[in-house]
Chains A and B, each alone.
Chain A
Amino acid sequence: MKKSLLLSAAIAVLGAAAPAETLRIPHELGYGGSESMDPISPQRFYEAIQNVYSRLVRQGDDGRPSADLALSWEATPDAREWTFNLRPDVTFHNANAFTAEDVAFSLMRTQSEAIDSPTKGVMEVIDRVEVIDPLTVKVVLKQSHADFPLLVMDYRIRMLDAETCGNDLDALCESGVGTGPFQMVDFDPLGTTTFTRFDNYYGGTVGTENLELIAIADQDARVAALQAGQIDFIYALSAEQVPLFANNPNFTVQSVPTGRWVGLVMNTQIEPLNDPRVRKAIRMSADRDALGKLVYGKDGYITSCDHPVWSGDQYRAEIDCPRDIEGAKALLAEAGYADGLTVELFVSDISEGAVKMAEVLQNQAKDAGITIELVPAPADGYWGDVWMKEPFFATGWSQRPADQILNEAYRSSATWNETAWTSPDFDAKLDAARSELDFDKRKALYGELQKELWENGGSFIPVHLNTVRAFSAKLSGVQPVEDFSIRYEGIAKSGSDS
């Protein structure tokens, strides 16, 4: 027995002796192995696409668009025509040159009925793309959009090689051929997907020779794998998992703000929540800081005042929303609920902390005479049976830039207008912000929209979530930015000692 144990130990050592300078990142199998290398597919394999494909524009440190495959851009005064000047001498992994044709192809395919991409709704603002010369491309919009570069900054709007994709606008393109820092070697979303450094990467030297995306669906298994040194990095640690790495010299823990939020939604058209005073009373009864600490831990959140624009966004409005029980009571009395109010809240374990958040609000709202009855709903089928069907329910959103989230969730005609927010004035301001070319004026307009949501809106968004990650102390160059913006090419790994 002992002999065989030693033997297996020897095999284990041999098996684990991976070549140095391989960055090993876990992949959460969010689509259960059906991950697609097409960046606009609903099952886009985002850890992979962000490494093999590049965008026209990327998020700069100030949250504003900065150069990537496009070096510069300018708009006509009405913000309807945008000209992008492309980076010269860029090649795809297959040695094809990157040109304006590829940009036109990559942008127009997002609108395909056949592909039916989640990016379709947002990109439908594009009317046509004109190729001026191989390094200049003009995008003509159907309506003014002063922040069009923000739309192409979306993590899914990546530049593909038109030739490799057969120039077919209506077909998925899963080639993996891009201009990014890593080129794909083996594709195995249920196992290990491997990449190797692309030597002609336009962004300079890539930090590690190889990159591996390793499928580990279970977070506890990922934690064990990082502890045992089988992977180098782990995303989205829960508050309970942080201490495992926090005081260990072999690991670095990083907490960064993101635009992800979990919230509670009041339908603004259904009694009694159709009264803005009632909605505000409920929102005023919350102690957001206490709620954040209880639900997400002391480093897990940044408080917000019921507007969906996160702390890292250039358009975030500064609003103050302290707990105000007296104010809430007064508003309720004014609305005819002097003796208190009872509402049902539908919750489910759909997003991190949704149920806990509802329980905390239930307790906090009691002080203002509001009784919230929690109705547990099954997570299975929640998005079809409960979400946007009940008057008061839980929701969760991933990070989006200000313009996108405000349009996707609050424009009267939006498919996902979960609060049933119907305000022609609000819609008009959204349009005005979109066509305002002056940054400060635009910022002021977005600010007004957010204040309007705090005063009258139907969303309860107490906090935006931080994400906490841990990684091996051997890694350097992991920027404190949210997951979608991590540049893996900038990460270096030292030595193979363990």
Chain B
Amino acid sequence: MPSLILRRIGFAAFTIAFVSMIMFAAVEALPGNVCTSFLQRFAQGPRLERCIEQQGLDRPALVRYGEWVSGAVQGDFGYSLKKRKPINELIRERFRNTALLGGIAALIAIPLAIFLGIVAGVRRDRPLDLSLSGAAMLAMTIPEFVTATALIYVFAITLQWFPAVTILPPNAGLMQMLPNIVLPVLVLSAVLIAHIMRMMRASVIDVMTSDYVQMARLKGVPERQIIRKHVVPNAMIPALNVIALTIAWLLAGVVVVEKVFNYPGLGTLMIQAIFDRDLPLVQAIALIFSVIYVGVNLLADLAALALDPRLRRKGH
């Protein structure tokens, strides 16, 4: 059992290392480099040469990759020459803000989605199920930037309950973040809830029609108990992977939502870094995102192991 867990962790570490290589190579393959994008029309002659030398771009890619990885492993993402600040310093607060946004959205959405999924599954094809499923379909099909714009129009421009975009005074504390978070969290949760709820519902329906539930019913076990003891735990296993994938989706969703709401998180920072061709910063944020992605999937794997004894047997 511990060796199984170690193996999974090993796989995860390998994936991250591989992703970091791909990322570095992709950035290398882009036309131009930090200097040409930074200097734009000035990118010629001695000015360009000086910049390339200062940024160390004249060294082989492998050497630069090695330096970058060893720094990142020690928690040092290097220095953004464009912003003239250590990347760690740029990222720290942004990471907190994104974690706050994503965390609150996940904390609200996941339990609620599981609950609604169970309710819909149990009341299959009744009015409650139909309206919940209909709403979920709607939430899944409308892109989040549309939902966001609609919410801004209603709650920020017309009713003026919440700010339309996040504007923070310098050195803003956590309390000042809260009103800004409401609309982005609503947008993110809507999609999260829809995905997880639909999966949970399907999974519950599956289990409800299984032989062992039928057997329990025939033995006269109360319906409530059947649902709690047999249906929910079994239905959770397939749903877990979807939850993991959805949290991973959250990372991409956060980028879009942050942009629309001008939210000072990693997403907006990454978009700016891409426009600004601040490649070290792009790499650092991309690496953080991939670590989160892999980490969440690893957790889902381990949780599934804990829930399902069959997976723990040798050979899996």
Q: Which residues of A contact B (CB under 8 A)?
A: 5, 8-9, 11-12, 15-16, 24, 29, 31-34, 42, 116, 118, 186, 188, 190-194, 214-218, 220-222, 224-225, 227-231, 378, 380-381, 383-385, 387, 415-416, 498
Contact = CB atoms under 8 A, between A and B. Distances in A.
B218 interface: no
B228 interface: no
A227 B157 contact: yes
Contact of A380 (B30, B44, B163): B30
B60 interface: no
A217 B161 contact: no
A191 B264 CA distance: 8
Contact of B260 (A29, A31, A218): A218
Interface stretch (B35-43, B285-293, B299-307): B35-43
B164 A383 contact: no
Given A8-B182, A221-B260, A381 B31 contact: yes
B31 to A, nearest CB: 4
Interface string B62-91: 000000000000000000101110000010
Contacts, number: 137
B162 A224 contact: no
21 contacts: A5-B182, A9-B161, A16-B163, A31-B276, A33-B276, A34-B84, A186-B171, A190-B272, A192-B169, A216-B165, A216-B167, A217-B259, A221-B260, A224-B165, A225-B164, A227-B157, A227-B164, A380-B31, A381-B37, A383-B40, A415-B44
Given A11-B178, A31-B276, A498 B262 contact: no
Most-contacted residue by chain B among A8, A192, A193, A222 (CB, 10 A): A8
A191 B138 CA distance: 35
B24 interface: no
A496 to B, nearest CB: 14
Contacts of B175: 11
Nearest to B50: A116
Given A12-B182, A224-B157, 8 more contacts: A15-B163, A15-B176, A31-B82, A34-B278, A217-B271, A225-B164, A228-B163, A415-B44
B168 A34 contact: no
A216 B168 CA distance: 11
Nearest to B30: A380
B170 A381 contact: no
A381 B167 contact: no
B182 A32 contact: no
A33 B168 contact: no
A25 to B, nearest CB: 12
B170 A191 contact: yes
Given A118-B42, A498-B160, A194 B271 contact: no
